[in-house]
Structures are given as structure tokens and as C-alpha cells.
Amino acid sequence: MRQGGCVISTRVRVRSTRGIAVGILASLLILSSFVGTSAQGERPLLGARRTGVEVMGDTVLDVTLPSAFVLSGKILTDDPASVFGSLVLARSGDQVFSGGVMPSFSSSGLTATYRIVLPAGNYRLYCERHIFDFDNDEGAVLSVLLDLSQTVAITGNRTLDLPLPNVPQTVSLSGRIESAGRFPTKGVLFFHSSDGNVLAYAPFDGDYQARLLPGSYTVTAGIGDTEGEDYVQFRLGEVTVSASGRRDFTLPQAVELSGRVLRPAGRPANVSAIAAAEAANLAPNGGVPCQGGELMLNFSPRTWAMVGIPGESATGAYRLLLPPGTYLLSAGVGFDSEEAMLFFPVPPRERSLMADATQDFVMPELSPFVSLSGRITDERGQPVARASISAFSDALTDVPNAAFSASVEADAQGRYRLPLLRGTRYEITICPPVASPLPPGFRVRRPSPF
């Protein structure tokens, strides 16, 4: 996730919670045997990041990934299946490492296990627990950050079984969703706690039912599907919940932003908007690269939207519904590989949208691509097959007011070649092969311009 450079990833998929649960469980069952084999046969590796890289012509960058240690064990619970898809977190200062909770089969039966790859250090352990509710047709998800009251010193591989504390008693909030204008009354409500430790996900289709812990929440509505790059999210207000009850919400009036993205035919594109006042509070990109699973609690209750334009569109036309306000607007255009995209303008264009408006984007002329290439190895000099290499720069030499991102996977010998536009201040992130599934509701995807 890039925030300081106005690029964030959109990961939440608006779909049935029941479908999320079934899909994640199936993925865990399929991948658990692979993860165990991988853990036994390979030394664990950490990701690496290189900043300020100049790529003014064909450039060679070899990278050695540092080795690490594994903290693993069982989750001690009477109902192992209830914790599959949750995360165990190890925190040291402002660095947080995560590992998914997965099923393990043995002669003693089904157990829940976890595995986190860590550098040496001292860590406090937490669990992001995901609780599914199937009391209605769509269901809901409650994510709670639990302090495991465990500290651990890592100087080598270590096994530690973890008992889970009980989740506090939950309450139910339900109600009706009305619309003041063009927004449909079907989507998802997000309840984000003021302390950042609770996130509830509640689908709605006229009505909703959320499972919460007592406390204060910012309520956000999401409409559409980010998988199809057609999504809008906006704040609905604040709510304090102390007991089960009802609360109705009204979706705001919408204004329409429309126009065209003029780009070569056959290239997919998107247009993104983020509320200008909220963009000012985005934290700079940083932290630990290459985490196998990202926190659902990292969800941010801000107003933003994105719409996709398919490559086969002859006109590049788009239509985006937004609540009235002031937004930062940007467009992105994809290339032959869907892992490469040009974003423009950078910084995004500020526009007050209090009534229907139009905004066109014209893709700038591009200079020929150059290449970043090299070899990814571990500390023993052995190639890291299928390592992923991604690059981002908002300081392009020949394309002012634009940014470029691209990624590629290394071959079996750890060699890679990444076509880039000439630029400075490239940030290169190198990740070892993913050996664990993502948590519920998340998937790897191309970033949006915000």
C-alpha cells in the first residue's frame, strides 16, 4: 500500500460473506499441505526494499534477500475451524509481521496452526480474530484484535502454542438503508471502531444486521465491486453502541462525474477519486514489505471511488457517482501486462463536485521503455525462484505529472527483467514466493491511483 505517493490498494470485495467463508476455508485446506512442505524444505526469507533507484537506461539490480526465523505452533481452541482465516501478529515497535491461521491434519484430528516469518527480535503477540455470522442469508464478519498477553524473543526457529482469549460479548445492530438519490440500497456497511481494534462488515440489501462489540464506530458504506473496478465508498456518520438495537441510515444524494480517458485502443483504464480533506491525512508508505496477509483492521473509513474502463471500449467513456464534495482525481492506464500501469496526473487534480460535471483525461506521450533486470538470491547465493519484483516512481524523466508502477516474477534461476519508464526515485520491493493464503475478503490486485 502506497499512501504518501497517493497510491493505495483496494482489497475489500463486496460479495456474500458466506461465499468468503467457504472460499477461504477451501483455500486453506488446499494450501495447508503446500505451506507445510515449503516450510520444511526451504530457509525462510524476508522481503527487501530499495529506495531512490535511478533507472535512466537499462539498469542491473541484483538483490540478496535476508534469511529469517519461523515462529509457529498451534492455536489452542476447542473449535479449530472457527479460527481458520484469522491472523497471528507479532509486533516490535512500529513493525508488524503476520501469519495466517490454517488447518493441520494429524492422527489426533484437526488442529489450527500458524506460522510467521520474523527477523531476530522481541515481539508482542496478537490475534486478529474473524468471526462469521450466518444468522441471515448474507451473513456478516466481525474482526477483533485480541492481545494474546505473550511476548517472545526470536533468535532462531521457535515453537509456541497460543491459547486464545475469549471474545467479549457481542451485540446486534440492525436497521433499514434508504437512499436520498442515485445510490442503490445494496452494498456493505463497515463499522470501524474509534480505537482501531474492531471492524465489522455487514452486507445490506435494503436491510442490514451487524454484529459488534459495545463501543463507538465510524460507519462507512461501500457500493459496487472492487474486483471489477467499479466501487464507491463514503462515510455515513458516527454511532455509539452499548446494547443490541436498531439504527437506520440514509445514503446521500449523488453527483455524477463523467468523461473520457483518451488512450491507445485496447488498453484498460480507470478513474479514481478521493475526498481531498481525507487524502491530507494519508500516512506515508512504509512498514514491513511482503506480508503474506494484510490486516482487515487496516481498512480506512474514507470517501473514495474508482471506475474501470475496459480495453475494448472505443470511446474510453466512464461514469462515476460520488457524494458532493471536493475530490482529488486521477486516471490510470494499463499496458500489455496487467501488472504495469501509468497514473496521471500526479499530484492528482483537485476538483469541487457539487453538481454533475465532466472531466477528461488524456494519456501523455510515452518514451521508449528501458529495463531493470538482475538476479534475486538468498544469503547462500542460491537463486530465489518466483520471487516477485515491483517498482514505483512518481519522478518520471520524460512524462511529467505522472507515476508508473510495474511488477514481474523471477524465473527458476531467480532472474528477472522489468520494463520501466525512465525515472528517478524508483522504489523497488522484492518479495519471496508467497507461501500462505490471504485472510478473508482480500486478494492481490493492481493498485489504484490513490
Spell out the domain ranges in the chain. Answer: 17-431
Task: Look at residue 194 and give its three-state secondary structure.
Answer: coil
Check residue 412 and give its pLDDT: 95
CA–centroid distance for 210 within its chain? 22
Range among 11-20, 295-304, 406-415 with highest mean pLDDT value: 406-415
pLDDT at 6 over 60: no
> Average pLDDT in the 223-243 region?
88
DSSP 284: P
pLDDT at 262 over 60: yes
Check residue 407 and give its pLDDT: 94
Q: State which H helix or E strand residue 425 sits in.
A: strand 423-431
- Whole-number percent of the chain with pLDDT over 70: 81
Query: Which runs of E-coded beta strand occur in 213-340?
Result: 215-225, 230-241, 245-246, 249-251, 255-262, 269-275, 304-309, 317-322, 325-334
Of the pLDDT bands very low, low, confident and very high (cuts 50, 70, 90), residue 59 is very high
Q: State which H helix or E strand residue 34 sits in.
A: helix 17-41
Task: Look at residue 80 and give its three-state secondary structure.
Answer: helix
Check residue 249 and give its pLDDT: 97
Of the pLDDT bands very low, low, confident and very high (cuts 50, 70, 90), residue 226 is low
Bridge-based pairing state of the strands 59-60 and 370-377: parallel
- Whole-number percent of the chain with pLDDT over 90: 65
Of the pLDDT bands very low, low, confident and very high (cuts 50, 70, 90), residue 194 is very high
* String of DSSP letters for 37-66: HHHHHS--B--EEEEEEEESSSEE--EEPP
Write 232-240 long-range contacts (CB < 8 A, 24+). 232/183, 232/304, 232/305, 232/320, 232/321, 232/322, 233/302, 233/303, 233/304, 233/305, 234/303, 234/322, 234/323, 235/301, 235/302, 235/303, 236/189, 239/173, 239/191, 240/215, 240/216
Mean residue pLDDT across the chain: 84
CB 219 within 8 A of CB 190: yes
Check residue 29 and give its pLDDT: 41
pLDDT at 264 over 70: yes
Nearest to 75 by CA among 58, 65, 66, 88: 88
